[in-house]
């Protein structure tokens, strides 16, 4: 019995002293922004209600609609960050798009997923971000058509490395 007790105590101390810590990478979304995309690819910030031009005859609502119609596409920018003390392997970003929109301009690491097999509209886009080192930031930008039902985008980032704080992996933006 004494030998068994000694063996258990040795196994316990061995586990505490020589066990490696589990790798943890805190992948997070630090920002999601939506802006009107001009025809040449530049983005125009959403106009403030106090800075609308006056149309003759017309209302502020007509002026706002005239500005929004000038750029029929939206540019989305998502910034992903890796913190904690370990690298993230592999890292993926998923962006869910509004109803009845189509992705226009996406980077080469993007995969477009349709709303359904018969649909021409984009449901969501996945981005393969690969290996992210500690402290690294990756910004993903793409353009899509506006939805007449509202323009809210949700972004979720994750990796194969365990995440100690999954509450910061998701953010939304509306236009």
Q: 84-126 pLDDT, tens per residue?
A: 889 999 999 999 999 999 999 999 999 999 988 899 999 999 9
Query: Contact 93/127 with Cβ under 8 angstroms?
Result: yes
In a domain, 8, yes or no: no
Tokens at residue 34, please?
Answer: 């939506």
In a domain, 4, yes or no: no
In a domain, 49, yes or no: no
Tracing tokens 């490395």 back to the chain, one arrives at 161
Which CATH number belongs to the domain containing residue 101 in this structure? 2.60.40.1510
Tracing tokens 């920002």 back to the chain, one arrives at 31
Percent of the chain past pLDDT 70, that is, above it, reads 69
Phi, psi of 125 (to 5 degrees): -130, 135
In a domain, 7, yes or no: no
Most confident of 2-16, 47-61, 85-99: 85-99
Among 29, 27, 35, CA closest to 142: 35
Give pLDDT, residue 19: 52
In a domain, 98, yes or no: yes
Residue 152 belongs to what domain range?
A: 24-42+73-174
In a domain, 130, yes or no: yes
Weakest-pLDDT range from 47-61, 86-100, 160-174: 47-61
In a domain, 123, yes or no: yes
In a domain, 80, yes or no: yes
d(CA 159, CA 3): 45
The alpha carbons of the chain give a radius of gyration, in whole angstroms, of: 24
When comparing pLDDT for 25 and 16, which is higher? 25
Mean pLDDT of 114-139: 95
Tokens at residue 69, please?
Answer: 């119609």
For the chain, the domain total comes to 1
- The DSSP code sequence of 43-112 is EEPPPPGGGPPPPSS--HHHHHHHHHHH--EEEEEEEEEEEETS-EEEEEEEEEEEEEE-EEE--TTEEE
């Amino acid at each position: 019995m004494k030998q068994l007790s000694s063996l258990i105590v040795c196994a316990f101390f061995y586990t505490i002293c020589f066990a490696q810590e589990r790798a943890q990478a805190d992948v997070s979304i630090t920002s999601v922004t939506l802006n009107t995309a001009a025809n040449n690819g530049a983005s125009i910030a959403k106009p403030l209600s106090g800075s609308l031009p006056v149309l003759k005859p017309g209302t502020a609502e007509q002026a706002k609609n005239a500005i929004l119609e000038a750029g029929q596409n939206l540019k989305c920018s998502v910034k992903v960050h890796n913190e904690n003390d370990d690298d993230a392997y592999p890292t993926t970003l998923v962006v869910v798009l509004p109803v009845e929109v189509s992705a226009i301009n996406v980077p080469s690491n993007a995969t477009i997923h349709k709303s359904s097999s018969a649909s021409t509209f984009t449901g969501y886009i996945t981005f393969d971000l690969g290996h992210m080192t500690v402290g690294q930031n990756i910004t993903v930008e793409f353009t899509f058509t506006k939805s007449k039902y509202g323009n809210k985008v949700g972004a979720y980032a994750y990796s194969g490395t365990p995440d100690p704080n999954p509450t910061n992996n998701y953010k939304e933006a509306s236009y």
